[in-house]
Amino acid sequence: MEEKLKIESRLAQIGSQEDPATGAVNFPIYNATAFRHPRLGQSTGFDYIRTKSPTRSVLEEAAAELESGDAGFACSSGMAALQTIFALFGQGDHLVVSLDLYGGTYRLLERILSKFGITASYVDTNDLDALESARRPNTKAVFIETPTNPLMMITDIGAVCTWAKRHELLTIVDNTLLTPFFQRPLELGADIIIHSATKYLGGHNDVLAGLIITKGAELSAEMAILHNSIGAVLSPTDSYQLMRGMKTLALRMERHERNALALAHYLKGHPAVAEVFHPGLPEHPGHEIQNRQSSGNTGIFSFKVKDARYVEPLLRHIRLIAFAESLGGVESLMTYPAVQTHADIPAEIRDAVGVDDRLLRFSVGIEHENDLIADLGNALEAARRELEEGDGDRG
Ligand SMILES: *Cc1c(COP(=O)(O)O)cnc(C)c1O
């Protein structure tokens, strides 16, 4: 039997062997929206773009294969992928969801899906007792993010899947932060993976996309119906852009991981910093589980400054690092979750998980680590001077 290629090779070769007509080493963009039928009752496999289109199909097959799933579905954004997944549920259904959740997912559940009679309970999904007490007779699925964004809380995926199977619940995992290069939840028992491919998979802050990967024939067939019926599918051009990004995923993730760890160590030793949340640090409560279920660490982490008054001048003084929302691109970005990505999450939930006004999230890019350390060091020093001068004026 032919041995399966290593993931680095499979990533680099996405779409490379798929166009026998021309031998093109990267799969072309087919912009056609309609496909001729050879004759009545026959199809080339392609009929109408929303249902299936050639460039998107190559991406979807690659995504399914990388995540060890049975089918992949490319969507116009991560939110479109989430909406499509949640359409599996209806009136009266209940979900158990990670407490420290991506703000957009929370908003979708609370503002939109609630109108269709779908309810959710938010719990620490690494606490099996909390999961069990949140479970109701109408619970249909558990939805987890691990690590969470921004606090990097780790959930034991295998343990949750075992619990979920015992109660016939689906396990849905948002694998945006680690990507299949570092973590493959379907191999640990999950049923559905969702990605904001806008982040690491695309990797260059230049394409908006989402992916769904399913395990099992019945679930895959159901998802195909939802994907086609809802219609929030990815365009051929964006499908190509995303595959182009994914070819270098292995190289980028290795550098993101190395840089983020270097910056986490630097900040941990900085006098203006109170706390660093990075699962790669041995003192992180999820460190051991993370090492067991993933082969590496993502490039984002967060940290708390000692005084909230540091935040404004720090964000004003960073130069190389951009003050911008989003994550997972080659360029380093820093965000302020309490007022940006997590503004839609009620203050009680934010406080319960610790997303407060001293917390900053850092998506570490692939620049040289020394340049990033210098930029951050300069900005923290400038912030400290401003605070001191401010205190002096008042005193
Ligand atoms: C960005 C993000 C999403 C939403 O994806 P979009 O591509 O922005 O629609 C969902 N989950 C996580 C973890 C994200 O970071």
Which of 100, 196, 340 most suits a substitution to test ligand 1, by most atoms within 8 Å of the C-beta? Answer: 196
What is the predicted pLDDT for the residue at 138? 98
What is the predicted pLDDT for the residue at 394? 55
Domain boundaries, the chain: 7-246, 249-394
List the beta bridge partners of residue 194: 174, 212
* pLDDT, tens only, 32-63: 999 999 999 999 999 999 999 999 999 999 99
What is the predicted pLDDT for the residue at 352? 76
Q: What pLDDT band is residue 392 in, cutting at 50, 70 and 90?
A: low
Say how far residue 209 (Cα) sits from the centre of its chain: 11
Q: What is the Cβ-side half-sphere exposure of residue 63, based on CA atoms within 13 angstroms?
A: 35
Q: Which of 30, 102, 310, 336 is catalytic?
A: 102
Pick the CATH number of 7-246 from 3.40.640.10, 3.90.1150.10, 3.40.50.2300, 3.40.50.720: 3.40.640.10
Q: What is the Cβ-side half-sphere exposure of residue 88, based on CA atoms within 13 angstroms?
A: 26
In the reported structure, the alpha carbon of residue 382 is separated from the centroid of ligand 1 by a whole-number distance in angstroms of 33
Query: Which amino acid, one-letter code, is at 215?
Result: K
Q: Which of 124, 174, 238, 375 is catalytic?
A: 174
In whole angstroms, what is the distance from residue 361 CA to residue 305 CA?
Answer: 11
CATH of domain 249-394: 3.90.1150.10
Choose among 252, 393, 214: nearest CA to 328.
252
Q: What pLDDT band is residue 2 in, cutting at 50, 70 and 90?
A: low
**Which residues have CB under 6 Å of ligand 1?**
77-79, 102, 104-105, 145, 149, 174, 176, 196, 198-199, 208, 210
In the reported structure, the alpha carbon of residue 393 is separated from the centroid of ligand 1 by a whole-number distance in angstroms of 43
In the reported structure, the alpha carbon of residue 335 is separated from the centroid of ligand 1 by a whole-number distance in angstroms of 14
CA-nearest residue for atom 7, ligand 1, is 78
Confirm whether pTM is higher than 0.75: yes
Q: Write a three-state SS string for 212-225.
A: EEECCHHHHHHHHH
* pLDDT, tens only, 235-283: 999 999 999 999 999 999 999 999 999 999 999 999 999 999 999 999 9
* pLDDT, tens only, 344-388: 778 887 877 788 899 999 999 999 999 999 999 999 999 999 988
Spatial strand order of the sheet with 273-277 comes to 273-277, 300-305, 359-363, 333-335, 322-323
What is the predicted pLDDT for the residue at 341? 72
State mean pLDDT over 90-115: 95
What is the predicted pLDDT for the residue at 160? 98
